[in-house]
A = this chain, B = another copy of it.
């Protein structure tokens, strides 16, 4: 590759860019160690590689200006939303500037009649849903954290509702993005569908800030269903719970959520969130629709569960109780810490065709048992997607090595089942090698695109692909 690319830490260029930006942005640019550390590393277990400076942008034009300065001096740029990504997406291995978008948090427009809205990237999903609630609308995508919508688009986030409503790829109508040369590009209009040229919206969704920085998004919205009902159902073992999920999807029951938790995760949630569930594998479900349709779905699922030994149904139909249940589900990541105080949590995810879900979960549990590693399983089982929250003492090199091998086997297992090494966490730094194993020659096309759009390799370098 050309020497002008960012392929090593270019102290001089970065220092120049930071000094130019400092003059322009004054107090809004900070080089404090704690802020830099916080922007390089939040929930990930990977080593912290802080940027050289953090600048708080307040408009599309400002982001364009920052990118132009960084391009001129070959300084890496890393977009920052809420810092809740899990695979080292925000680390700055070559230094550079973190562009914090959290102040760009205006809801620009809600088109209730078109079921869409326009937001700045720093708006969080909970902020948006609080704003929409009185209009009878909601935005369904819900990764556990209260992430920013720009970050959710950049990482192609999904969550518990994806089984019914899809992922960010299905719910972003267009983005405005700053390209690596500072150009401001809008990828599509607001029509619900389009056949107008290359799908740049979906190229940027999931590109993890390596091709451009999203500064505005148009999102699809949903009407709040007339009726919603949530339930927890316990199963004698994890295989039975998986089989119930598979049957539910195959029978076409339009569940809004169907989440798997193993007995360890249930124990953690009981302790952390004050639930009183039986300590056995369980499914968390939610049904959306008209009152009659919700009742029908619940009845159909009940039949499936019964055949597989499921029972101990806990039903929640009141808004407050439902919210409490789902907050407990979303807090799963934090809850597991209580199982081994002091340990770090290494979160990973894979996704397989649903027919292989039970096999993949069972083989993974056997691997964990063999190594005597504590790692609750929780997952968006309706999509064949599950998470492992591995409790690990990161100071113990031997333990870390064992866990890394375990993760490698998990990724390899999912890929061998025609699945992916990541259903929703993304590649970042942590899964670059698995991506190569998963997609082979397609990586060449990804590299070609990256090199063409970002020839200086300044946009979040060292993530997704190595040039």
Contacts and interface: CB of A to CB of B under 8 A. Distances in A.
B351 A192 contact: yes
A170 B293 CA distance: 25
B185 A464 contact: no
Interface string A195-226: 11111101101110001000000000011010
24 contacts: A112-B250, A114-B354, A115-B354, A166-B170, A179-B445, A188-B442, A189-B420, A191-B351, A191-B353, A191-B384, A195-B423, A195-B427, A196-B422, A196-B435, A197-B435, A197-B446, A198-B207, A198-B446, A199-B206, A223-B252, A225-B252, A290-B293, A292-B293, A448-B453
A451 interface: yes
Interface stretch (A13-21, A52-60, A154-162): A154-162
Contact of A192 (B186, B193, B384): B384
A194 B422 contact: yes
A185 B155 contact: no
Given A185-B444, A252-B222, A197 B464 contact: yes
Interface string A241-259: 0000010011110000000
A42 interface: no
B195 A440 contact: no
A415 interface: yes
A232 interface: no
Interface string A449-463: 111110000000000
A189 B452 contact: no
A111 interface: yes
Contacts of A421: 196
Nearest to A418: B190
Interface residues of A, number: 92
Interface in A48-106: none
Contacts of A199: 156, 169, 199, 202-203, 205-206
Given A197-B465, A200-B442, 10 more contacts: A114-B353, A114-B354, A116-B353, A191-B385, A195-B420, A197-B443, A198-B207, A200-B445, A203-B449, A222-B252
The 9 closest A-B pairs by CB, nearest first: A452-B452, A202-B202, A113-B355, A223-B252, A190-B418, A191-B351, A194-B420, A114-B353, A191-B419
A142 interface: no
Contact of A188 (B114, B158, B439): B439
A383 interface: yes
A424 interface: yes
A250 B246 CA distance: 32
Contacts of A289: 293
B425 A113 contact: no
A355 B112 CA distance: 9
Contact of A194 (B114, B190, B423, B451): B423
Contact of A352 (B191, B223, B449): B191
Contacts of A251: 223
Contacts of A355: 111, 113-114
Of A116, A158, A198, the most chain B CB neighbours within 10 A belong to A198
Interface string A293-325: 100100000000000000000000000000000
Interface in A162-193: 162, 166-167, 169-170, 179, 183-193
Nearest to A446: B198
